Amino acid sequence: MGQGKATDEQLAKIEEYRNSYVDMVGFVPPRIASRIARLTELNPDFLIAQEEVRRQAVYTDALDQKTVQLILFAVLAVNVRDAAKLHGLAALRAGATWEELQATLNLAFLFGGLSVSNRNATILDEIAELEESQQNSQ
């Protein structure tokens, strides 16, 4: 179980997961696209398990998507992760304002210190670039 060629049913489910990234940030981020492609080929059951856990955590009735994305943005920012910009963009797409993104980065500084703040200074610029590139491609 788990390894080998994906069934049509698995491929349909994987496509749903892929589309959830497009809905969230407007595209499938490159690392995620690579993981999906590789695991679709080698271990589709494991990919589906990963994505189902993600779906359970990210799409909850307890929190709206703006709140979910701001929390993920803060967690990734305080840990100086590149994916922070993707969740910042997702937060904007879910209705957050630039002021809310900055306030979230201020909280990341509070618990992460100056090195986090130095890195986070460029995150809003990177989000703006992503947003602009999406607008230009439409």
Distance CA 78, CA 89 (A): 16
Domains in the chain, number: 2
pLDDT digits (tens, 9 = 90+) for 52-87: 999 999 999 999 999 999 999 999 999 999 999 999
| Structural domain boundaries, residue 67 | 61-137
* 25 & 44 share domain: yes
Helix locations, 26-138, DSSP H: 30-42, 44-58, 65-78, 84-93, 98-112, 114-137
Query: What whole-number distance in Å separates Cα of residue 128 and Cα of residue 44?
Result: 34
Confidence band, pLDDT 50/70/90 cuts, at residue 2: low
**Distance from C-alpha of 87 to C-alpha of 115, rounded to nearest angstrom:** 20
Same structural domain, 55 and 106: no
How much is the pTM?
0.90
